[in-house]
Amino acid sequence: MIALDLVGHAAYALIALGMGLLACGVRWGWAFRFLGEAGWVGIGFALGMTSIWSWGIWFLLIDAAGFWWWSRGRAETGISSDASAAPQSA
C-alpha cells in the first residue's frame, strides 16, 4: 500500500508540474498533466474505486479538450507553443 501511496504522490506532482508549465505557456505541461491523471486512473483501478478511476477519466477528457482548444487558439493567433521561443516582431 505504501508503493501505491508513493505513486499517488508522484501523480499529483506531475499534475502540479504540468499546471505550472502551462501557466508559463510551455506546451509540455499538457504531457505532465496527462501522465499524472493517467496515474490516478491506474490507482483507481488498483484500489477498485470507481470514484477515483471514473473521475480520472473525466479529467483526462477535459485535459484533452483543453489541449485541443489551447493549441487551436495558439495556431490561429500565431502565438508560439513554447514560452522559450523568441517574441514575434510587430
Check: pTM over 0.85? Answer yes or no.
no
Provide the residue ranges of all domains of the chain, joining segments of one domain with +.
2-71
φ, ψ dihedrals at 79, nearest 5°:
-80, 135
Q: What pLDDT band is residue 83 in, cutting at 50, 70 and 90? A: low
pLDDT at residue 54, as a whole number:
95
* pLDDT tens-place string over residues 54-82: 999 999 999 999 888 888 876 666 655 55
* Residues whose CB is less than 8 angstroms from the CB of residue 60 and which lie 6 or more positions away in sequence, other chains included: 34, 37, 38, 41
CA distance 37 to 13: 10
Supply 28's cell numbers. Answer: 509540455
Average pLDDT over residues 25-41: 94
Q: Give the C-alpha distances (Å, rounded to integers) separating 36 from 14, 66, 73, 87, 89.
A: 5, 15, 24, 31, 36
